[in-house]
Structure 1
Amino acid sequence: MAPRSIPPTERQAPESRWQHQAQLLLQDLSQSLRQWSLWTHLGWQDLLRQYRRSVFGPAWIAINMAIFTAAFGWIGSQLFNQNPKTYVPYFCLGNVFFGFLTTMFNEGCRTYVDAAAFLKQAAYPKFSFVFRVMWRSLLMLLHQLPLIVVVLWYGGNLGGALWLLWLAGLALTVLSATLVLAVLAALATRYRDVPMVVASVLQIAFFVTPVMWHASQLSSERAQLLTALNPLAVWLDLMRQPLLGAAPPTSTWLASGLVLGLLLVVCSFTYLIARRRINYWL
């Protein structure tokens, strides 16, 4: 008995399903970008709700960071035997930007869990809530801008800061971090242990990323190579070096572009599988 021939439509069914999911993913992203007023409003309301009935409101973010910077900046300059006017701006910028990334990743794990009330009632585009967390994190970073200006003035870097280059590095970093946020949001919705794992990894990452120390202080070439392969260190260089008056080297831009391409592939693959299942995982 001759085997039954498979019709062309059946042979192409798996491929067509992937194409259909890719079209839905692009449609979701397009709708999310068009509905920018939704996620900007939600992000702003999240920030207001967090500091409701507070005297200083979100200014507490900058106050806490200023106290910590002043305390550790004085001690760290002696520990690492560096001039405070050089070390304090370096440490402060590294701590501010590292905190910006860690806040985005930690809060990103709860992206869809916090948006369950919306997603269960209407067909909202998923990436609107990813952008909500990204926007909220940017608003919190904006509250650190006065502190950044003060430490740059203290270190004599205010006049030599490369602000346009900093904006370019910030944009590239935010784009990459948003992709990480999106992946963590989907994984944490399915596996509820992910937020604890991410929090633990980021705590360790603070000490292995050049936030309070320079990569040049490492004596081992292998340790310096590991630092160069650390995406957090690459993103810190993109945001910190221009404000200190130095353009990031070409290798840093190439590394960040490579990481961005890899994250784009991982994020696309994740959402081709998980996007339609997110509502069922809530």
Structure 2
Amino acid sequence: MLRTDGSGILEVLREVRDGWRWRELWMTLGWRDVQTRHRRSRIGPFWNTLSLAFVATCIGGLYGGIMARPMSDYIPHLVTGYMIWTLLQALVIEGKDAFVSNASAIREIAVPATVYVYKLLWKNLIIFGFNSLVYVAVLGLFRVSPFPNIVFVLPAMAVILLNGIWVGLLLGLVNVRYRDLGQLVPNAMRLAFFVTPILWYPDSVSGLRTIFVDFNPFYYFIELLRAPLLGQAPSSLIWTVTLAITLIGWGITMPVYAHWRRRIAFWV
């Protein structure tokens, strides 16, 4: 039986709170991960910026023609969608490894397990910041004004990060017990990229193919943040679906994590 009593839920909430109190540690570790990833590189994390710029130039030029959309419309759509997808994909793929990749530290250091989830969130927020440089350049190049609806970026990002926490806790927990998840998730995410409106527009599909939009949770989270970045307000449907996923995700994660969290150190 899963531990669904109030004390178990409170323990999870305390761990989420205590992990935040260790922010000096996970912020340092997150930044170090970014630096380590580009060790001995002259431009370091700016490789993330160049990669997105390459996507905008090459893929944008190709698919903009295929979509028969003006570059001033398609490039901002592509850049914002791709940078948000990079964040979401990292939160899922790295989330499943939140505990596995920190096995030695978990066995030796007495800190809340949420520290490792916060670390990966912070790391990918930093990468998102470097990618945002391309976004700013695109705004200037194509004269796109994100005002006044850019104020929705903060609550939209808060919703995404809240989901990133439960995804890291749940997938990280499941992956330490069932390592096949480590092979399944990256393959599933590669498929999800092509069926999510990143390279294409949601209104470009019709009939049964609309299921790739209507029943695709990634679409709602991308649109939640992409809309204000492009100067639009997310629709009430977008807010409703993303908040519903947030509540359902936490509702599933808390009893599962409360029941099994003390075994993480033995399973890793």
Task: Please say if 1:236 is aligned against 2:222.
Answer: yes
Q: CA RMSD in A?
A: 1.8
What is the match of residue 175 of structure 2?
188
Do the aligned partners of 1:77 and 1:84 also contact (CA within 8 Å) in 2? Answer: yes
What is the match of residue 36 of structure 2?
49
Q: Percent identity?
A: 25
* Whole-angstrom distance in 1 between the partners of 2:252 and 2:139: 37
1:147 maps to a residue whose letter is V
* Whole-angstrom distance in 2 between the partners of 1:177 and 1:155: 32
What is the match of residue 115 of structure 2?
128
State the shift of 1:27 in Å.
2.6
SS in 2 for 1:88: helix
Residue from 239, 255, 267 that aligns with 1:253:
239
Relative to structure 1, the CA distance from residue 16 to residue 254 in structure 2 (aligned partners, 3 Å threshold; closer, same or farther) is: closer
What is the match of residue 250 of structure 2?
264
Relative to structure 1, the CA distance from residue 168 to residue 68 in structure 2 (aligned partners, 3 Å threshold; closer, same or farther) is: same
Which runs of no fewer than 5 residues in structure 1 stay unpaired?
Answer: 1-13
Cα distance per residue 1:101-122 (max 9 Å; x no partner): 1122111222112222221113
Residue from 2, 7, 21 that aligns with 2:8:
21
Q: Greater shift after overlay, 160-169 or 245-254?
A: 160-169
What is the match of residue 79 of structure 1?
66
What is the match of residue 190 of structure 2?
203
What is the match of residue 48 of structure 2?
61
Task: Please say if 1:164 is aligned against 2:147.
Answer: no
What is the match of residue 3 of structure 1?
none
Do the aligned partners of 1:209 and 1:230 also contact (CA within 8 Å) in 2? Answer: yes
Do the aligned partners of 1:161 and 1:243 also contact (CA within 8 Å) in 2? Answer: no
* Whole-angstrom distance in 2 between the partners of 1:84 and 1:211: 15
Residue from 47, 50, 57 that aligns with 1:70:
57
Do the aligned partners of 2:83 and 2:131 also contact (CA within 8 Å) in 1? Answer: yes
What is the match of residue 7 of structure 1?
none
* Whole-angstrom distance in 2 between the partners of 1:253 and 1:235: 9
Task: Please say if 1:276 is aligned against 2:266.
Answer: no
SS in 2 for 1:47: helix
- TM-score by length of structure 1 reads 0.89
Residue from 15, 19, 35 that aligns with 1:32:
19
2:76 maps to a residue whose letter is P
State the shift of 1:90 in Å.
0.2
2:84 maps to a residue whose letter is F
1:231 maps to a residue whose letter is P
Which runs of no fewer than 5 residues in structure 2 stay unpaired?
Answer: none
State the shift of 1:22 in Å.
3.0
Cα distance per residue 1:179-219 (max 9 Å; x no partner): 21221111111111112111011111011110111111112
Q: How many residues in Structure 1 have an aligned counterpart in Structure 2?
A: 268
Q: Greater shift after overlay, 53-62 or 116-125?
A: 116-125
Relative to structure 1, the CA distance from residue 17 to residue 65 in structure 2 (aligned partners, 3 Å threshold; closer, same or farther) is: closer
Q: Greater shift after overlay, 45-54 or 139-148?
A: 45-54
Task: Please say if 1:145 is aligned against 2:143.
Answer: no
State the shift of 1:241 in Å.
0.9
SS in 2 for 1:115: helix
State the shift of 1:29 in Å.
1.8
Q: Indicate the structure (1 or 2) with the bigger Cα radius of gyration.
A: 1
* Whole-angstrom distance in 1 between the partners of 2:238 and 2:152: 13
1:198 maps to a residue whose letter is V
* Whole-angstrom distance in 2 between the partners of 1:238 and 1:252: 6
What is the match of residue 11 of structure 1?
none
Higher relative contact order (CA 8 A, sep 6+): 2
* Whole-angstrom distance in 2 between the partners of 1:176 and 1:154: 33
- TM-score by length of structure 2 reads 0.94
Cα distance per residue 1:71-124 (max 9 Å; x no partner): 010111111111011001101111111011112211122211222222111321
2:195 maps to a residue whose letter is V
Relative to structure 1, the CA distance from residue 226 to residue 50 in structure 2 (aligned partners, 3 Å threshold; closer, same or farther) is: closer
